[in-house]
Amino acid sequence: EMTRQYQELQKQTAAHSQRLEAKVKSLQEQLATRLQESQQTQQTATKALAERDRTIAQLQGRLDAVQRENERILHGSLDLVLAKMAEARQHWEEVATTISLEHKQRLQEFGLNPLEI
């Protein structure tokens, strides 16, 4: 009877051991799969970050180029405005001189000295 119980216990232990070994193997396979998935996810994230950094660098370059172009346009426009203002100033100084001379002549026609007024 004890021999039979011993053999039965041995069978149960062997079956249990096989189930545990199968479970360990299954868990190891799952772990390997998860590790591989994790590595792939990490590689994908690294590529995405690198792509984002490249995009940011490209956009920064474009932004810098647009900024330089805007500065060039602004300086050109300001130079044109300054040239027009200088031209207008010269014109109005000439007009003022002409008017001043006319008034000076008129005052002299009436016998008045413009410097005394």
Buried b or exposed e, range 23-50, using 16+ CB within 10 angstroms? eeeeeeeeeeeeeeeeeeeeeeeeeeee
Q: Do 107 and 117 form a contact (C-beta atoms < 8 A)?
A: yes
**42-56, 69-83, 95-109: the lowest-pLDDT one:** 95-109
pLDDT of 117 higher than 70:
no
Q: Average pLDDT of 3-26? A: 96
N-term to C-term CA, the chain:
148
Global model pTM greater than 0.85: no
Q: Strand, helix or coil at 116?
A: coil
The mean pLDDT of 48-53, rounded to a whole number, is 98
Q: Are 114 and 104 in contact (CB under 8 A)?
A: yes
Residue with the bigger pLDDT between 2 and 96: it is: 96
